[in-house]
Amino acid sequence: MSLLTAAVLGLLMPLSASAAAQSIALGPELLGATRLGTDTAIFPDASRAIEIRAADPDGMLSVDLLIRWDDDTEDTGATRAQPLVATYDEVDEVWHTEEGGGMDANERPKRWSVTNIQLVDRLHNITLITDRRVLDPLGFTFENPSYDAVPPVLDSVTVDPKIAVPGEDVRVTLRVKDANKPVEANYILTDRTGSPDQIGPPSMIKREVVDEGNGITAFTDTFITNDATAYGRYSLDNVVLIDKYHNYEVATTDAAVTIDDPEHPVGASNVSGTMRVGNTLTANANWPGAIMDYRWTFGYQREPLANGPKVDLTWDYQPPELGLQVTGKWPDGTVRTRHTTLDAVGKGKLAINSVSITGNRTVGSILSATHPLVVPAKHQIASDIRYAYVWFRDGKPILGAPQQKTYKSTVEDIDRKITVRLFVRADAYDGVELVSVPFGVVGVLKAPLPTITGAAGIGSTFTANPGSWTDGTKLSYQWLRNGKPIAKATTKEYASSKADLNQVLQVRVTGSKPGYTSVVKTSASKRPVTGKFTGVRTPVISGTARVGSKIGVTVPSPWVPADALKYQWLRNGKPIKGATAKTYTTVAADLKQKVSVKVTASKTGYTTVARTSSTKTIGYGILKEGTLRYVGSKKVGTTVKVQPVGWGAGNTYSYQWKRDGNKIKGATKSAYKLQRADRGRAISATMTVKRSGFITIIMGDGTFAPR
């Protein structure tokens, strides 16, 4: 019978009150705990036995001890704890455990103690003993008279050569002093110039160990460099020395080897770009004098991927880490190689960031989830792109709605919030989950165009006929005069008044129903009486048809009513901007053009009427003529000027000086300096006056003979 079965049966069987309380509520009772042996164990005797007596009415199941070794040295201060299981001796009816065996000559002195004792009966009731008065007498001290606590000493360090080129071996010799053999010496030559490179992975180191006597052990390591060894100062900063008693010392040194080749300088390798699928990485390394070669690798085995400074990150390279191998080759045949390990390629970003619902908002319409599509060619995706859609009503999935791009709205969607959730998945790309903004669905009211019945005329009663609307639709009315609401005219019938004479009457019917879009329908117009302008004749242009002249418009007889006339002047039949007055002053743009005027009469309740005059061809304007006069002494060597007087504004002037009626070369300004050649000759000046759209005038002011 198993322990679990026995425990269940034991609980079901009747017990005495004291026995039941002991078996159910109490764990085993510790009767005694004794260490067998003295408080001190001397090597090689490294163990002591513990005898434990315990009792329980239901029988004992197990005895466990948690023990610990306390290292008795200042350099560790650590506590090593571990569980220990006692075995039952049926003859003596005690539990025995033993600890400390297996010590060797290298063990440090230490103290053995018990942290707690755990007693378990067959009903799995537990008693935990933590009383130090019980536990402390069980411990003991282990002593090792041959133990040596003195750590090794670094006697000397030599590096040969101290400056090496890639491909040259470097020998490092450590001489370590310690009487206890064997001795270990561990270190790494590390680049301290800023890069994480190191010389000497295990496969590239050869070590020779020689016992020189007198406690000296010599370690000679040969570091094998190659063209891929990075330049820098590799220092032997810390050397860890350990003897057979595990005494250790960390010795600091200033020894170093410099890997350099000034004739073949190597620079940094820069990689630009984002480490995500779908992106492009670009490498750039500038090693003076070298021809550069780039090779991309992936995976820990540096499998070849691509050549050249650029690599496209496709889904095939995710997730193995990438590496860049840069090789420079100099004209003398020297080759240097550097390999840089890059981060793992992350998943790409899909170019999709929004989803919306499009379609008619009326119930029964097809709604569509609209969003950008992922273009495989732009995302370097080799497998299918997967889209999934879930439609929601007021934040809950719509039962029965297919997980498709489209959804046909139903009456249950009226006045509810409809959303769609889009899921996009593609290999090697981060999944996208987007939710649209809520979309409202409304019902559609049946809404015919209303009509008006009733005899035209002042005082007549007009009746609005709304037609047949959707059942349950609430209708309201508003009568309009010339498109504007008539105060208090909000019933189905309306009696016209004098204010409606020659006016346009309509009725506006508004239908509303919960969950449906309100609809407004306006009837066609109804005119009780329409006015008509009288005395309308073709207008006539008055005034001189020249540039710069003011012309006007007259009508042969008054138009009645006469308070609604508007004017628009036309050039070749097209409106002249800003020319809307009864008069118009012609400009240069009108020269040789046909100018007319359109007169329009409009007034509420009247039929608009317009008439256009016959055209007038605009001729050249006539300048206001002034005079010309000389200003100056008219002596040789002095300057004489010509001044226009009384010509008005807006003109341009040009000049020509003449000698004996012949043009003087270069004398084309208003001022002229008299020359020796002018003495006693007939000097004159002509002035040309111009303005756009006007007749040009050329004028002189006689001659004079300079002295």
Contact 407, 393 (CB under 8 A): no
504 within a domain of the structure (yes/no): yes
Contact 258, 232 (CB under 8 A): yes
Q: Are residues 599 and 647 in the same domain?
A: no
CA distances from 114 to 26, 70, 129, 135 (A): 23, 11, 10, 6
- Average pLDDT of the segment spanning 519-543: 81
Show contacts of 389-393: CB within 8 Å, 24+ apart. 389/420, 389/421, 389/422, 389/423, 390/420, 390/421, 390/423, 391/418, 391/419, 391/420, 392/418, 392/419, 392/420, 392/421, 393/417, 393/418
Query: For 44-58, what is each residue's pLDDT tens digit?
Result: 887 888 888 988 888
532 within a domain of the structure (yes/no): no
Q: How confident is the model at residue 81 (pLDDT cuts 50, 70, 90)?
A: low
Q: What local confidence, expressed as pLDDT, does residue 8 receive?
A: 26
Query: For 229-280, what is each residue's pLDDT tens digit?
Result: 888 888 888 899 988 877 889 999 999 998 889 899 988 889 999 888 888 8
Q: What are the structure tokens assigned to 292, written together?
A: 């550069």
Alpha-carbon torsion, ordered 492, 496, 500, 505, to 10 deg: 30
For the chain, what percent of residues have pLDDT higher than 70?
88
Q: What local confidence, expressed as pLDDT, does residue 327 receive?
A: 93
529 within a domain of the structure (yes/no): no
Three-state DSSP at 316 gives: helix
Cα–Cα nearest to 215, from 154, 159, 171:
154
Contact 223, 199 (CB under 8 A): yes
Q: Are residues 158 and 222 in the same domain?
A: yes
Q: How confident is the model at residue 446 (pLDDT cuts 50, 70, 90)?
A: confident
Q: What local confidence, expressed as pLDDT, does residue 633 receive?
A: 83
Q: Which amino acid is at 88?
A: Y
In angstroms, the CA 477 to CA 495 distance is 14
Is the pLDDT assigned to residue 625 strictly greater than 70? yes
Is the pLDDT assigned to residue 465 strictly greater than 90? yes
Q: Are residues 579 and 511 in the same domain?
A: no
Pairing of strands 406-408, 386-393: unpaired
Among 440, 471, 486, give the residue marking a domain's end.
440
Q: What local confidence, expressed as pLDDT, does residue 596 receive?
A: 93
Q: What local confidence, expressed as pLDDT, does residue 356 receive?
A: 94
Among 596, 617, 638, give the residue marking a domain's end.
617
- CATH code (residue 102): 2.60.40.10
- Average pLDDT of the segment spanning 476-490: 94
The DSSP call for residue 634 is -
Q: Are residues 157 and 136 in the same domain?
A: no
Domain count, the chain: 7
365 within a domain of the structure (yes/no): yes
- CATH code (residue 485): 2.60.40.2700
Q: What local confidence, expressed as pLDDT, does residue 491 receive?
A: 94
Enclosing domain of residue 586: 540-617
Q: Are residues 119 and 22 in the same domain?
A: yes
Q: Are residues 363 and 404 in the same domain?
A: yes
Residues near 100 by beta carbon (within 8 Å), at least 6 away in sequence: 41, 46, 47, 48, 112, 140, 142
Q: Are residues 183 and 241 in the same domain?
A: yes
Q: How confident is the model at residue 647 (pLDDT cuts 50, 70, 90)?
A: confident
Q: Are residues 591 and 681 in the same domain?
A: no
Q: What local confidence, expressed as pLDDT, does residue 162 receive?
A: 92
351 within a domain of the structure (yes/no): no
527 within a domain of the structure (yes/no): no
H or E element: which one contains 376?
helix 376-379
| DSSP string of 11-80, one letter each residue | HHS---HHHHHHHHH---EEEEEEEES-SEEETT---EEEEEEEE-TT-EEEEEEEEEEEE-STTT--EE
Which of 196-200, 439-443, 495-499 is the least confident region?
196-200
Among 522, 548, 571, give the residue marking a domain's end.
522
446 within a domain of the structure (yes/no): no
Q: What local confidence, expressed as pLDDT, does residue 634 receive?
A: 84
Q: Are residues 20 and 118 in the same domain?
A: yes
Query: For 120-146, what is each residue's pLDDT tens digit?
Result: 998 899 999 999 999 999 999 988 887
Q: What are the structure tokens assigned to 346, written together?
A: 């992350």
User: In whole numbers, what is the pLDDT of the chain averaged over residues?
Assistant: 83
Q: Are residues 493 and 606 in the same domain?
A: no
Q: Are residues 250 and 313 in the same domain?
A: no
Residues near 214 by beta carbon (within 8 Å), at least 6 away in sequence: none
Q: Are residues 18 and 127 in the same domain?
A: yes
**What is the per-residue burial (b if ≥16 Cβ within 10 Å, else e) of 195-210?**
eebebbeeeeeeeeee
Q: What local confidence, expressed as pLDDT, does residue 17 receive?
A: 31
Query: For 172-217, what is each residue's pLDDT tens digit?
Result: 999 999 987 888 888 877 765 544 445 544 445 788 999 999 999 9
Q: How confident is the model at residue 392 (pLDDT cuts 50, 70, 90)?
A: very high
Cα–Cα nearest to 39, from 139, 145, 133, 144:
139
- Average pLDDT of the segment spanning 372-398: 81
In angstroms, the CA 352 to CA 430 distance is 11
3-state helix, strand, coil in the chain (%, to 5): 5, 50, 45
531 within a domain of the structure (yes/no): no
Q: How confident is the model at residue 33 (pLDDT cuts 50, 70, 90)?
A: very high
Q: What local confidence, expressed as pLDDT, does residue 456 receive?
A: 67
- CATH code (residue 378): 2.60.40
Task: Assign residue 122 a region (left: φ > 0; alpha: ψ between -120 and 50; beta: otherwise).
Answer: alpha
Pairing of strands 163-164, 256-259: parallel
**Biggest alpha carbon distance in the chain?**
165
Is the pLDDT assigned to residue 299 strictly greater than 80? no
Q: What are the structure tokens assigned to 399, written together?
A: 């039962």
Cα–Cα nearest to 117, from 145, 136, 143, 140:
136
| 401: number of Cβ within 10 Å | 18
